[in-house]
Chain A
Amino acid sequence: MSLDVILRVGTKLLLPFILLFALYVQFHGEYGPGGGFQAGVIIAGAVILLTITFGLNVAQRIAPSPVVQFMVPLGVLIYAGTGVAGLLTGRNYLDYSAFAHHSAEGHAFGIMLVEAGVLVTVAGTMTAIFYAFVERGR
């Protein structure tokens, strides 16, 4: 417990930057490399790092198991629901033109929503799988 001071302090210092980088990857994915998938994995990586250094209980205070498990279907729902919005306005499924007056603006908004869905599912799934392994291993 007393020998891993460097790990604990290092983790505490790194975590905010990891999360910030995940957000950067998510929202800068429209301009540079990145997107929901990569950002989701980075967020899951932050939670996994927290679990490894501080233990499952601390991590689950911040990212409780039920919330993580709820994120898994929620992301798919966000993605699929974005597609349905196109259907409701008489367009094709996953046609994002409906979100704004200008078609291209709507597409940009739709892509953002869809990427958010990917982020939620990927982060939730990776964390949930890791939690499942850790709980099984105890």
Chain B
Amino acid sequence: MALLTLLAVIAGAIVRQRSLFGVVILFSSYSFLMASVMMVLDAVDVAMTEASVGAGVSSVILLAALHLIKTRETRPIRTQLAPLAVSVLVGGAVIWGSLALPPFGDGDAAIHRHVAPRYLREAVTETHVPNVVTAVLADYRGYDTLGEVTVIFTGGIGVMLLLQGARRRDSAPREKGKETA
């Protein structure tokens, strides 16, 4: 509960913060708190990913991006009433939908009765891998992980094209002389 309260406090601070540098640092601490929440929920694999990707690498990459752009958020141009209404509506719908979820930690929930018992029972004999999370990710749900790796691949190629393609055009001899970086 203390962790969740801290999460809410940091989320509020992120919204209030105008300096983007502060926002990145707050995001990083938000990720670390999220990793702690995952630890409390016994999802160590997720916690590890959250700590390394969310708090580590993505903060560094956001800081590197800040190096290229302005570091202060500009004041909004239009009134914020419409976005506020959308947020309240969507948030309300999510809360309304979550009321129909089974109680937290309920062993009889639908998601725990479909394939999960079979994975827990058979994973070690079928794959000789004691960590069921790894067995599910890399074997039973191999297609999903392949898709995940392809997403990372596509994202990386996209960023490289965006950043390096622009640089190459910059350094190429300019024909019209009007191009700006």
Contacts and interface: CB of A to CB of B under 8 A. Distances in A.
Q: Do A and B bind each other?
A: yes
Interface of A: 25, 29-35, 37-38, 41-42, 44-45, 48, 52, 69, 72-73, 75-76, 79-80, 83, 94, 96, 103-105, 107-108, 110-111, 114-115, 117-118, 121-122, 124-126, 128-130, 132-137
Contacts of B87: none
A56 to B, nearest CB: 12
Interface residues of B, number: 45
Contact of A83 (B49, B52, B146): B146
A104 B149 contact: no
Q: DSSP class of A's interface residues: helix, strand, loop or mixed?
A: helix
Contact of B60 (A25, A48, A96, A114): A48
B134 A115 contact: yes
A111 B146 CA distance: 12
24 contacts: A25-B48, A29-B131, A29-B134, A30-B130, A33-B47, A33-B48, A34-B45, A41-B53, A41-B56, A41-B57, A48-B60, A76-B153, A79-B146, A83-B146, A103-B126, A104-B128, A107-B135, A111-B127, A114-B145, A115-B138, A121-B149, A130-B57, A136-B167, A137-B64
B129 interface: yes
B56 A132 contact: no
B156 A125 contact: yes
Interface in B161-178: 163-164, 166-167
A64 to B, nearest CB: 15
B126 A75 contact: no
B64 A37 contact: no
